Amino acid sequence: MKKVININFQGRVIPIEEPAYENLKKYVESLRTYFSNEEGREEIVNDIENRIAELFNEKMKAGASFITEAHVEAIISSMGRPEQFDELSMNDESSSSQSNQHERTEHPRGNLFRNANDKLIGGICSGIGSYFRVDTSIIRVLFVLLAFGSFGFMFFLYIILWAILPSKYVAETVVRRKLYRDADHKVIGGVLSGIAQYFNIQVWIPRLIFLLPVLLSVFKESFPFGFPIFYGFSGSLVLTYIILWAVIPKAVTATEKMEMKGEKIDLESIKQKFQDEMHGLKKHVDENKDKWASTLKSKSSEFAQEVKETAQPAGRGFFRFIAALFKVFVFFILGVIALTLFALGTAIVVVGNALMPLKDFMINSNMIQLYGWGTVLLFLLLPIIALLIYFFRKLTGIKSKSSWLGWTWGALWTLGWISVTMFFVTVSKDFKRSGQVKQPVQLQQPSTGKLKLMFTDPAGKYYPIDFDFFNENDEDLEGIVGLRLSRNEDSLLMTNMRIRLQKSNDDSFHVSIIKRARASSAADAELYAEQINFTVEQSDSVLNLPHGFIIDNKNKFRNQQLIFVVEIPVGKEVYIDRKASNFIWVNFRGGARGLSVEFDEDYEDESWRPGVWYKMTENGIERNGDALDLDRPDRPPLPDSPIDPEEKIERLREEIREKERELESADNRINEKDSLAEMQVGANGYNNKISSSQSSSEERDRKGNFQILFRALNLLKLAR
Amino acid sequence: MKKGVLEFCILSIIRRGEAYPSDIIEEMKKAELHILEGTLYPLLTRLKNADLLSYRWVESQSGPPRKYFSLTDKGLSFYAELEATWRGMAAAVERVINTKGEETREEGQEEQPLTVNC
């Protein structure tokens, strides 16, 4: 049973089935549309309605209690539908369009020709499209794409076709579904939207496919096996987009829009289309209002909006073209920025993860912990996430549903800023003041008159802080220089130290330790300084120092520093172990002006180098070359001559070059066995020399040199 | 071509007596000329707007009031012209299809040539 309603039709109340009434309404609407150009439209429609009312009356009289769908259908058939009117009609316009409609669907194929009506350049693509019943835009796009790869062949083909094919004027190119640009759903130019419409796929699919090579080209360095295609692609993709923009027409009229979607074109669907457009326009305006109101994302969207706005009113094609070009570039750059941010975000997460254990040493109050987290999450990661979401939305065409989302992002980011500030303020308070303690070390004067400083690794296992997740190789584990973490992560080994060599005021060696630390007050700082654990052991002329000092996470990191002062009497010698080059120098300075951090990895004093013996003279430290380092016998001692090592290397190089020249000249006579034998003898001679001089220690110097030379010669001979 | 013919037919029906659309359609049907009501109404309105027809409302017991059309003087004279044209064309066509050879062509040349607007 269908619902029956009462309507007021031509001054009478008529009971009628609801669907029947709907049909009636539609019919009258269609008439209105059909006669929209007629002068007497209202009168005609009224007359027809009047007639219908009369017929309703007859039906009721005949015994019907209400008008049914069947009644309405019969009446409409007898009255005739607008499409049928022109069978005997006198209306010029309607008849011509009617015949066009027939032509549209029944136009014979005919021969291949150029379509002079619908031409961009020569009408060739249009003609081909007409012949194959494919949309002209598709043909054009294919043509352009082929032209890219064909190095001008397509260009010549085009010219040939232009000459060969006759041109014809066709009223309309015959096609059902056309490729248009969808201006209503556009991000830049609606090119990809239109493509999506034509193939009836979701909008984000062609967009993603289009942008994928662009994205990958930015990543190209991450692919060691290389994606060279993509790198070249991205540039030509932008160009392709612009060409597509120019070639594919925009769907402006309702008819075109329906052609784009492949909908049946008749009066009703056109009416429907207009209604939809009005609704869509209103929605569009509302959404834009929200977008403009949000702060964080409004920057880039405002910008894009401005470009859109300036582009639309200026109807001129050239200006719009430039605007579209600009927009493409802007989005490209924004895309690159987004990717960089993504990479940055990932990096932050990775680094943060690695530095996690250090957190315990820095943070000595809950407040700092809070500020620290606030900083990382709100200040650093938030904008990255927000921008990524923005780009994702733009890509998929999802509109933002509410304006408060933008405000929320902004508020959270402001909180992030506050967190950062508070974080630095509180941290710097703890490093405001420094305190220092100087402790002398009990020393027995070495019997040899030389003092050697060696470093021992303290008891317990300490590991470097590892950033590199992917590298399984132990050798490469370096982590942060000078910082090592215990296995259970509760103590830290720091080599935050310096060695100072000074002249002693008397005949003996003096050694003392200066300990430093920082805290919020000077008294606290001294306390912390005193707590630095550093014990020196002596075995005659060797001082064993721990290679760093230990901080546990109860004491926390207080920028503890250690200076080891060695006073050397004149005439005595001193040697510092090579491990001293592992020292770092970290300075955290807090205070009114904020927190400043210095980090010096390769700390080196100007006056001395580790691994070398020095002698104290009246004027200061001087290098001592005589004494051998007993601990390292395999290393050749420095030569007695006061020549710099660099000069020595230069001299050796020159000698090698000389020998090279000799070999070259000898090479010319290589066919003659004498010369070969000569060379052999010469080489053997060297060998003999070497073996004979092996006993003498003086010759050991030369041995080293000749060894280098011989090896070089061998290499050269092999190369020949 | 049918364009002018239709109007001619309708005018002739109304000339014979006051008629309303349904009647007109009935008469056309009787003469094997089928026309849709939807075609007729606009046509009548056009003719009325061209001052060739006038109408009056007649109340009816069984249903809404009806428009009854009748020819105006202008309509009458227009009708005369149409009739003359029609008869002239009919005769000319008759002559052409009944041609007996050269003598007919010579005969035809004496006649005033008719321009037919369809």
pLDDT of B34-80, one tens digit each? 888 888 998 899 899 999 999 999 888 777 888 899 999 999 999 99
Nearest in space to A566 (alpha carbons), one of A627, A533, A607: A607
Which pTM does this prediction carry? Answer: 0.37
Q: Where are the beta strands (DSSP E) in A31-127?
A: 114-115
Query: What's the rounded mean pLDDT across residues A105-114?
Result: 56
Percent of chain B with pLDDT over 90: 40
Cβ–Cβ gap A88/B39 under 8 Å? yes
CB A45 within 8 A of CB B55: no
Q: Say how far apart CA A10 and CA A699 lie, in whole Å.
A: 131
- Predicted pLDDT at A314: 47
Task: Indicate yes or no: CB of A47 within 8 angstroms of CB of B67.
Answer: yes
Closest CA to A543 of A625, A442, A440: A442
pLDDT at site A107: 44
Domain residue ranges of chain A, discontinuous segments joined by +: 4-85, 109-175, 176-263, 266-430, 435-623, 645-719
Q: What are phi and psi of A650, to 5 degrees?
A: -60, -45
Token readout for A544 is 């064993």
Which has more confidence, A487 or A26? A26
How many Å separate Cα A711 from the centre of its chain?
50
pLDDT of residue A634: 46
Residue of B nearest to A52 (CA): B64
Give the least confident one: A496-505, A584-593, A682-691. Answer: A682-691
**Nearest CB to A54 within list B39, B41, B63:** B63
pLDDT at B94 over 90: yes
Domain borders along chain B are 2-87
Question: Of A53, A58, A85, which is closest to B38 when you measure between CB atoms?
Answer: A85
Q: How far is CA A635 from CA A256, A392, A693, in A?
A: 87, 62, 19
Q: Which of these, A373, A368, A374, A367, lies nearest to A414 by C-alpha position?
A: A374
Q: What is the mean pLDDT of residues A335-355?
A: 74
DSSP bridge partners of A463: A485
Spatial contact of A445 and A509, defined as CB atoms under 8 Å apart = yes
Identity of the residue numbered B28: M
Model pLDDT, residue A98: 42
User: Quick one: average pLDDT of A434-456?
Assistant: 83
Confidence band of A15 (pLDDT split at 50, 70, 90): very high
Q: Which residues of A touch B2 (CB under 8 A)?
A: 88
pLDDT value, residue B117? 55
Residue A580 has what pLDDT?
Answer: 75
Three-state secondary structure call for residue A620? strand
Per-range mean pLDDT, top range of A55-59, A317-321, A558-562: A55-59
Determine, for residues B43 and A35 on separate chains, whether the beta-carbon distance falls below 8 Å: no
Higher-pLDDT residue of A628, A396: A396
Spell out which residues of chain A touch residue B46, defining contact as CB-CB under 8 Å.
Answer: 38, 40, 90
Average of per-residue pLDDT across B5-11: 90
pLDDT tens-digit series, residues A21-31? 999 999 999 98
d(CA B26, CA A81): 19
Query: Do A545 and A455 contact (CB within 8 A), yes or no?
Result: yes
Interface check A28 vs B, CB under 8 A:
no
A228/A223 Cα distance (integer angstroms): 10
Higher pLDDT, A249 or A154: A249
B33: left (phi over 0), alpha (psi -120 to 50) or beta: beta
The per-residue pLDDT for A289 is 59
User: What sign for the dihedral angle of Cα A693, A699, A704, A706?
Assistant: negative
CB contact under 8 A, B39 and A89: yes
% of chain A at pLDDT higher than 70: 60
Query: Residue A667 above 60 pLDDT?
Result: yes
β-pairing, A573-576 with A450-456? parallel
Contact B64 A50 (CB under 8 A): yes
Looking at the DSSP assignment, which residues form a beta bridge with residue A599? A586
> Tens of pLDDT along A35-69?
887 777 888 888 889 889 888 988 888 888 899 99
| Mean pLDDT, chain A, whole residue set | 71
CB pairs under 8 A between A and B: 79
Smallest Cβ–Cβ distance between A47 and the set B7, B39, B45 belongs to: B45
Out of A38, A50, A85, closest to residue B36 by CB: A85
Q: Is the pLDDT of residue A690 over 90?
A: no
The 3-state DSSP composition of chain B as helix, strand, coil percent (nearest 5) reads 60, 10, 30
- Chain B neighbors of A35, CB-CB under 8 A: 42
Element spanning A197, H or E: helix A191-199
Check if A42 contacts B (Cβ < 8 Å). no
Q: Is domain B2-87 annotated with CATH 1.10.10.10?
A: yes
Distance (Å, whole) CA A399 – CA A392: 11
pLDDT in tens, A279-292: 666 666 666 655 55
- At how many degrees (to 10) do helices A41-61 and B21-30 cross? 80
A189 contacts A199 by C-beta, under 8 angstroms: no
| Per-residue burial over B70-98, b = 16 or more CB atoms within 10 Å of its CB, e = otherwise | ebeeebeebbeebeebbeebeeeeeeeee
Whole-angstrom distance, CA of residue A623 vs CA of residue A612: 7
Backbone region of residue A35 per phi and psi (left: phi > 0; alpha: psi in -120 to 50; beta: other values): alpha
Among chain B residues, the shortest Cα distance to A56 is held by: B63
Alpha carbons A614 and B111: distance in angstroms, whole number = 142
Instruction: State residue B93's pLDDT score.
Output: 92
CA distances from A56 to A23, A24, B65 (A): 14, 12, 13
Sequence-separated (6 or more) residues with CB below 8 Å from residue A102: none
Tell me which residues of chain B, numbers 19 to 78, contact chain A at a CB-CB cutoff of 8 Å.
21-22, 35-39, 41-46, 48-49, 62-67
Residues from chain A contacting residue B44 (CB–CB below 8 Å): 47
In whole angstroms, give the CA distance from residue A140 to residue A245: 12
Specify the higher pLDDT residue, B60 or A625: B60
Cα separation of A322 and A316, whole Å? 10
The answer to whether A87 contacts chain B (CB < 8 Å) is: yes
What's the pLDDT at B14? Answer: 93
Question: Which residues touch A223 (CB under 8 Å, ≥6 apart)?
Answer: A216
* B101 near A CB under 8 A: no
pLDDT of the residue at B91: 93
Among partner residues B35, B44, B65, which is closest to A88 by beta-carbon distance?
B35
Among A416-425, A449-458, A690-699, B85-94, the range scoring the smallest mean pLDDT is: A690-699
CA atoms of A197 and A199, how far apart (whole Å): 6
**Which pLDDT score is estimated for A499?**
83
Asked whether residue A96 carries a pLDDT value surpassing 50, the answer given is no
Q: Which residue has the tokens 């009229």?
A: A253
